[in-house]
Amino acid sequence: MAMALGETAAPTRRRSLLLWLRMLVSAVLLAVLVTKIHPENLLPEHQHLSTVVFLIAGLLLTGIGVVLSAWRWQRVLRVFDADVSLRTLSSHYFAGQFVGNVLPSTIGGDVLRVSRGASATGSGSVAFASVALERLSGFVALPLLVVLGFVARPSLLESDNAWVALAIAGGTLALLAVILSFAASPRLAGRFKDHDNWMRFIGAVHVGVDRLRSRSRETWGILLAALVYQGSVVASVFCAAHVLDLALPTAAVLAFVPAVAMAQTVPLSVSGFGVREGLLVLFLTPLGVSTGGAVALGLLWYAMLLVVSLLGAPAFAVGHRHHARPTRGDDSTR
C-alpha cells in the first residue's frame, strides 16, 4: 500500500512542480514587460460611450465564443454517432473554462470536459477523442485566419516581425500534419482501437480521423464551426483594442491575434500570461502601438475571458445531471 501511495504521489508532485514553474515563467515575463511601460499608457486617452459599448460587445462575443466552441464539440461528437444537446455541452464547456481560467489547479478545463463528456456519451474514449479532435480543428482555422489577415492587407508583410506570425502558422500546420499522420495510420494509432487499457484513447482518435476522411460533409462542418469560433475570438480582441483606443488596422488584428492564440497554447506559462502580452508587444509595436498599449490589450483580452469564465462556476459546482447514453460501437464500461 505504501508503494502504491508513493506511485500516486509522484505524478501529483510533478504536476505541482510544473504548475509552479509555469507561474514563475509568467511572473518573469510580465515583470520584464512591466518595467518597459508607463502606467498612464495602460488606460485609453479618450473615454466615451463607445468605450463601454465595445467593452460590452467584447464580453458578449467572448461568451458567444464559448457556446460556439460547444457547437464545434457537438459536431465532432456526431462523427462518433454521439448525440448530445448543445445546452449540455455548453454547460460542460463553461465549467471547463472556469477550471482552466479561474481555479489555480493542475487539472485543465479539457480534463473536466473529458470527464463530463464521458458521462454524457457513455464512453470515456469517445469523450477524449472528441475533445482532442475539436482542439485540433483549431490548428486549421487559426493559420487560415493569419493568412487571410495578410491577404487583406499585404503591407503587413513589411512589418518587422510579421515573419514570426507566419512561422507560428506554418509550424502549427506542420505539427498538425505530424499528429494526423500518426492518428490516421492503421499501423500506429489504429492498432490501439481494440485495446481495453488507456491506449484505447489513442485508438479512438484514430477511429475519429478515419471517419472524418470518409465523411467530408461532417469534416467541412467541423472546420466551419472552428473558423466561426476563432473568428469570434478575433472579433472580441478587436473590441478590446477599441476599448483601449488603439489605432490598429482590422487586418492586423486578423493576422496577429490568431498567431498569439496559437503560441499561448504551449504550456510555458499559466493561462498564457507573459507569452500573450510579449507577442502582442512584438507584433503591435512596429505598427505604432506603445508597449503599454500592447500589454494592456493582452491583459484585457484575458480579463474578458476571466469574467465570462466565472459564469461556469455554477456548472462546475452542480455538475451534470444527464443520464449516460452509450454510443454505437463503443462500450460504455471501458
Rounded Cα gap, residues 5 and 24, in angstroms = 29
**pLDDT given at position 147:** 96
Closest CA to 131 of 82, 72, 211, 66: 72
Q: What pLDDT score was predicted for residue 178? A: 94
Domains in the chain, number: 1
274 phi-psi bin (left φ>0, alpha ψ -120 to 50, beta other): left
Query: Considering the domain boundaries, does residue 38 fall inside one?
Result: no
pTM of the model: 0.83
CA of residue 146 relative to chain centroid, distance: 16
Is 254 within a domain? yes
Domain assignment present for 20: no
Residue 100 lies in a domain: yes
Nearest to 260 by CA among 207, 215, 229, 297: 297
pLDDT profile of the chain (334 residues), mean per 10 = 45 57 57 58 64 94 96 94 93 90 68 89 90 93 96 94 95 94 86 74 87 90 96 96 91 96 78 82 92 89 92 80 43 39
Look at residue 196 and tell me if it is in a domain.
yes
| Residue 128 counted as domain residue | yes
194 within some domain: yes
How far apart, in whole angstroms, are the C-alpha atoms of residue 269 and residue 265? 9
Evaluate whether residue 43 is within a structural domain.
no
| Domain coverage including residue 303 | 50-315
What is the gyration radius of the CA atoms in the chain, in angstroms? 21
What is residue 325's predicted lDDT score, i.e. its pLDDT?
A: 44
